[in-house]
Chain A
Amino acid sequence: MTAAVRSRRLAMPDPFRGMERKRREKLILIGVVILAVVYPLVFRALESAFPFVPWPGTSVLIICATFAILALGLNIVMGFAGLLDLGYVAFYAIGAYTTAFLASPHFGIHVSWWIVVVIAVAAAAGAGILLGAPTLKLRGDYLAIVTLGFGEIVRIVFRNLGDFTLALPAFLGGAVLIGPNANLTGGNVGINPIDPPTIPIPGPWGNEIVFSNQNATASFYLVAVLLAITFIVCTRLRDSKLGRAWMAIREDETAAAAMGINTVTTKLLAFSLGASFSGFAGAFTGAYQTAIFAESFNFAVSILVVVIIILGGIGSLRGVVIGAFAVQYVNQTLLRYLGENVINAPMHAFGEATGIALLRDFNLVNYNYLIFGIVLAIMMIRRPEGLFPVESARAELHGVGISSDTTSGTADELAVAEEFATEVTQADETQAGDPREDQR
């Protein structure tokens, strides 16, 4: 924890270096913006010019950007506040279903998406508070399980409410309160169609621009703007008083409380803000796909977002965005490309030759979670700070970046010191409400 403070303090008295960096960052930013604007327009041309390169389609980039929003949101919870949330998909589902309820023929309500998105974000944030308020006092791994359970509950409830009957038991009269067999959520079939976002600008494309999967280019620009908004909000949050409070809690909850931070409210804010971005992404996904199914909001989505954050660098905004694009690019484009062009055919031939049925219909795409699972474990062992880490995490996890004038110890000594610090934190946690406290 001290390493973080130290490295930051050291970086400051070097204004020239800071300037250089600012300029470099500006250039990168301009480059990214130009790329985002141009790529969907030239994608077809690129594809026909260089067909042997696995170019990601615009719709793949939309998925990448959606997951980047999700990852930025979860990064607030996991990266900034240090709370493991394994049911993050629940808020995504809540955002998507709120959109579906308010802008589809399902209930015959057709509110404009630009209003719906606000309601969806509020609904997700509310759900975050509802789940967080009673559970945030739990320790890390218990919280993980509670959120996992919550994610499952939300998915199953949305699925089951497609055919719902609420009746009093027979001995109370048996009156039917809801139903019989009311279709509240569309059940397994889901809700279809959902009104996509529109802007009433006439042009060659018609009377208005429709941001649905029928018009991937326009939708990509919309989601890129949403991602930019999310990124800016997250940057501002990170640098705000609240952001510093989150990081203080992450590093040492007891010390943060002693410094006058209200840990309960602060953690709750992290939870509900994180949830609200998930609702934001959900509102976009529902409207863009114009259809949603309960089963698509499963545990695997939560894990995918966790993979993105771990891979990109937990706490690092740029890292998680790059992570989202990388992971979804691999997931949606690269694996299919490699499968179809490189790996599947020889596997099939080998399967035919040896008679192994498994290899005969081998398809690399089916093994994506196998790859992600291995990546998770390897990352945790080899590079726990991620591919694009924040400096403090690298310093803390590897004992580098701490200058020799403050600490003259070897890496081993640092490791021992680190271990001691962890021990102390654990002891504090024990006192703060370890469920197993009473037998110690």
Chain B
Amino acid sequence: MEELVKALTIGLANGLIIALIAIGYTLVYGILELINFAHADVFMLGTAFTYFALEVIVIGLGISPGSLTALLLIFAVLPVIMILTAVINASIERVAYRPLRNAPRLAPLISAIGMSFVLQNVGLVILGPSQRAVEPVLPKTDLAFFPSGTPWFGIDEVMVVGITIPLLLVLRWFVGSTRQGKAMRATAQDREASGLMGIDVNRTISLTFLIAGALGGAAGLVVALYYGQTWFQFGFQFGLLSFTAAVLGGVGNLTGATLGGLLIGIIGALSDRFLEAKWTSVIVFSILILVLVFRPTGLLSEKASERA
């Protein structure tokens, strides 16, 4: 029982991270009908930037890991990473996807695969071929215990929840209640008509990529801290999981992506714990194939009002 609760907790943390990346896929797919292969690699760059930022700050300034200053530091670094990845994501759209706006559907997809390889190689260049340990900033304190005395969750799980949930809520508010969000939803529904209605379509698409990139960067920071690692192949690994989550929830659907992320996270954690970790990705990809075959709309049938 305790093992189950523990696995569910880890699954929840993983799931929130996956949801954050999945939303990046879903936002872009909703507006351009493009699987942005490069998105997960933008996220990977987020983990790399976090690594370098902490390396410079913690070692350069001599801040002791686990202190309150270090904790505050995370919140100072977060917006910087988010801005960086947002700009990278939007630039990719500008360079590699915008010229293909009216090309056959496969053209931007292949261009996206190309961009993904470029970013992956950038990661390889700046990080090297092997995993790197991220400077531990969070204190390894357990906050809650089971009756038997074994630890349940610690400060790092709280950090994951504390960063992802507010971001998800802000995104919901932004897409649902602001003028720009309305423009995004309109563009997603009918690009030409919204252009005729005076919406600057290119600007709206750029904005979507900025938001998706920022969320990817935030996910990168969370992953770098939670797993304590960065690797140039993180993009590929998390990308497939997140895309599965987006499809599971119904691609184009924000709530769906969040739910899908949580489901994938929890299924993964359960499989890690009760099966073998090496089979987890097989299980996740099998779910992806089964969902696409039997319920291509995803678990939540998407409502027009929620599309973005």
Chain A residues with a Cβ under 8 A of chain B: 84, 86, 134-135, 138, 140-142, 144-146, 148-150, 152-153, 156-157, 159-160, 299, 303, 306, 310, 358, 366-367, 369-370, 372-377, 380-381, 384, 415, 419, 422, 426, 433, 435-436, 438-439
Closest CB-CB distance, A179 to chain B, in whole Å?
12
Q: Which A residue sits closest to B120, measured CB to CB?
A: A369
Residue contact A367 to B121, C-beta cutoff 8 Å:
yes
Closest CB-CB distance, B120 to chain A, in whole Å?
7
Known contacts A146-B289, A380-B103; is-contact A303 B282 (Cβ 8 Å): no
5 of the cross-chain contacts (CB-CB < 8 Å) are A142-B247, A370-B121, A373-B114, A373-B116, A374-B114
Closest CB-CB distance, A268 to chain B, in whole Å?
14
Please report the C-alpha to C-alpha distance between residue A373 and residue B243 in the assembled complex, in whole angstroms. 21
Instruction: Give which listed residue, B107, B117, B303, contacts A370 with CB less than 8 A.
Output: B117
Please report the C-alpha to C-alpha distance between residue A156 and residue B298 in the assembled complex, in whole angstroms. 25
Residue contact B109 to A141, C-beta cutoff 8 Å:
yes
Q: Which A residue sits closest to B112, measured CB to CB?
A: A377
Residue contact A358 to B289, C-beta cutoff 8 Å:
no
Q: Which A residue sits closest to B276, measured CB to CB?
A: A160
The SS class assigned to the A binding surface is helix
Instruction: Give which listed residue, A84, A145, A156, contacts B281 with CB less than 8 A.
Output: A156
- Quick one: which of B263-301 are within 8 Å of A by CB? 276, 278-279, 281-282, 285-286, 288-289, 292-293, 296-298, 301
Residue contact B113 to A303, C-beta cutoff 8 Å:
yes
Once A and B bind, how many residue pairs between them come within 8 Å at the CB atom? 135
Instruction: Give which listed residue, B292, B301, B303, contacts A145 with CB less than 8 A.
Output: B292
Residue contact B114 to A375, C-beta cutoff 8 Å:
yes
Residue contact B297 to A380, C-beta cutoff 8 Å:
no
Q: Which of B35, B99, B278, B289 has the most CB of A within 10 A?
A: B289
- Quick one: which of B92-115 are within 8 Å of A by CB? 95-96, 99-100, 102-111, 113-115
> Does B240 belong to the interface (CB within 8 Å)?
yes
Known contacts A141-B109, A375-B114; is-contact A369 B292 (Cβ 8 Å): no
What residues on A are CB-neighbors of B100 within 8 Å?
Answer: 380-381
Please report the C-alpha to C-alpha distance between residue A375 and residue B110 in the assembled complex, in whole angstroms. 11
Closest CB-CB distance, B82 to chain A, in whole Å?
25
Given contacts A135-B289, A373-B116, A376-B117, 4 further A-B contacts (CB under 8 A): A138-B292, A142-B296, A384-B107, A439-B304
Closest CB-CB distance, A43 to chain B, in whole Å?
32
Residue contact A148 to B240, C-beta cutoff 8 Å:
yes
Q: Which A residue sits closest to B288, measured CB to CB?
A: A149
> Does B252 belong to the interface (CB within 8 Å)?
yes
Instruction: Give which listed residue, A156, A372, A377, contacts B282 with CB less than 8 A.
Output: A156
Residue contact B117 to A303, C-beta cutoff 8 Å:
yes
Interface residues of B, CB < 8 Å — how many?
54
Please report the C-alpha to C-alpha distance between residue A376 and residue B100 in the assembled complex, in whole angstroms. 13
> Does B71 belong to the interface (CB within 8 Å)?
no
- Quick one: which of B225-282 are within 8 Å of A by CB? 236, 240, 243-244, 247, 252, 276, 278-279, 281-282
What residues on A are CB-neighbors of B278 within 8 Å?
Answer: 156, 159-160
Chain B residues with a Cβ under 8 A of chain A: 33-35, 95-96, 99-100, 102-111, 113-118, 120-122, 124-126, 236, 240, 243-244, 247, 252, 276, 278-279, 281-282, 285-286, 288-289, 292-293, 296-298, 301-304, 307
Please report the C-alpha to C-alpha distance between residue A38 and residue B300 in the assembled complex, in whole angstroms. 63
What residues on B are CB-neighbors of A152 within 8 Å?
Answer: 240, 281, 285
Instruction: Give which listed residue, B35, B96, B104, B292, contacts A377 with CB less than 8 A.
Output: B96
Known contacts A149-B288, A153-B286; is-contact A438 B301 (Cβ 8 Å): yes
Q: Which B residue sits closest to A309, measured CB to CB?
A: B110
Please report the C-alpha to C-alpha distance between residue A436 and residue B278 in the assembled complex, in whole angstroms. 34
Q: Which B residue sits closest to A433, measured CB to CB?
A: B296
What residues on A are CB-neighbors of B293 within 8 Å?
Answer: 134-135, 138, 146
What residues on A are CB-neighbors of B252 within 8 Å?
Answer: 436
Residue contact A380 to B296, C-beta cutoff 8 Å:
no
Kindly list the 7 A-B residue pairs having the minimum CB-CB distance in the complex, ordered from nearest: A376-B114, A373-B117, A370-B121, A435-B296, A149-B285, A377-B114, A373-B118
What residues on A are CB-neighbors of B289 within 8 Å?
Answer: 134-135, 146, 149-150
Known contacts A381-B100, A438-B297; is-contact A306 B288 (Cβ 8 Å): no
Please report the C-alpha to C-alpha distance between residue A369 and residue B116 in the assembled complex, in whole angstroms. 10
Please report the C-alpha to C-alpha distance between residue A358 and residue B292 in the assembled complex, in whole angstroms. 43
Please report the C-alpha to C-alpha distance between residue A373 and residue B96 in the assembled complex, in whole angstroms. 11
What residues on A are CB-neighbors of B103 within 8 Å?
Answer: 380, 384
Instruction: Give which listed residue, A303, A377, A438, contacts B118 with CB less than 8 A.
Output: A377
Q: Which A residue sits closest to B296, measured CB to CB?
A: A435
Residue contact B104 to A422, C-beta cutoff 8 Å:
yes
Residue contact A146 to B107, C-beta cutoff 8 Å:
no
Known contacts A145-B292, A146-B289; is-contact A380 B117 (Cβ 8 Å): no
Residue contact A370 to B118, C-beta cutoff 8 Å:
yes
Instruction: Give which listed residue, A144, A157, A159, A435, contacts B109 with CB less than 8 A.
Output: A144
Q: Which A residue sits closest to B33, measured CB to CB?
A: A141
What residues on A are CB-neighbors of B121 within 8 Å?
Answer: 367, 369-370, 373
Q: Which A residue sits closest to B190, measured CB to CB?
A: A440
Instruction: Give which listed residue, A148, A149, A358, A377, contacts B125 with CB less than 8 A.
Output: A358
Residue contact B288 to A436, C-beta cutoff 8 Å:
no
